[in-house]
Structure 1
Amino acid sequence: MNSVGSECGDLKKSYDDCFNKWFAEKFLKGDTREDGVCKEFFIKYQSCIKKSLKEQNINYEEIEKDVMGTTEEKQPPKTS
């Protein structure tokens, strides 16, 4: 899947490659510890995505809002 921002594609690939390697070589073999090996890639990719969303006038704060376990969880989405 492509990144939401075309300029973030290389960062997404780097993160995906790192995550897939960790998943296949550790997680699937029973080592479920997340050792932060992909954290640097994730932070750079996340930063790029947030910048791209802002440029496209998409409010990412609403995307990150935690509603699980709250009264908002069962409410229909707000329409803009």
Structure 2
Amino acid sequence: MASISPECTELKRQYDECFNKWYSTKFLQGDVTPECDDIFRLYRGCVWKAIKEKNVDQLINDARKERPFKDDEEVDVEGSSSS
């Protein structure tokens, strides 16, 4: 499956491959040590860049104003927790 932006698709493929390998060979065996964080951060950055370029970030912010998180935890538009 392609990503939100063609520029992000290769990073998505790399992350999916890393995650699926980690999940099947490590996580299911009880090893929860993360192994794909670096590629995930790169992919997430690419996705958020595309979201901003397409002005989807404003739609996300508007939706969050209309329907705040139930636990009152504030999350910024880029997905990191601020509490």
Same fold, judged at TM 0.5 (above)? yes
Equivalent pairs counted in the alignment come to 66
Aligned residue for 2:78?
Answer: none
Q: How does 1:37-76 map to 2 (within 5 A)?
A: 37-59=35-57, 62=61, 67-70=69-72
Q: Which runs of 4+ in 1 moved over 2 A?
A: none
Q: Structure 2 regions of 5+ residues with no counterpart? A: 73-83
Find the aligned partners of 2:27 and 2:34 in 1 and give their Cα distance: 13
Alignment gaps of 5+ in structure 1: 71-80
| C-alpha RMSD over aligned residues | 2.0
Instruction: State TM-score, norm by structure 2.
Output: 0.68
Q: Post-superposition shift, 1:2?
A: 1.6
Distance 1:68 1:40 in 2: 30
Q: What is the TM-score when the length of structure 1 is the normalising length?
A: 0.70
Of all paired residues, the percent bearing the same amino acid is: 39
Question: Shift of residue 67 of structure 1?
Answer: 1.0
Q: Deviations over 1:23-65 (max 9, x none)?
A: 000111222x2x2310110000001001101111111763xx6
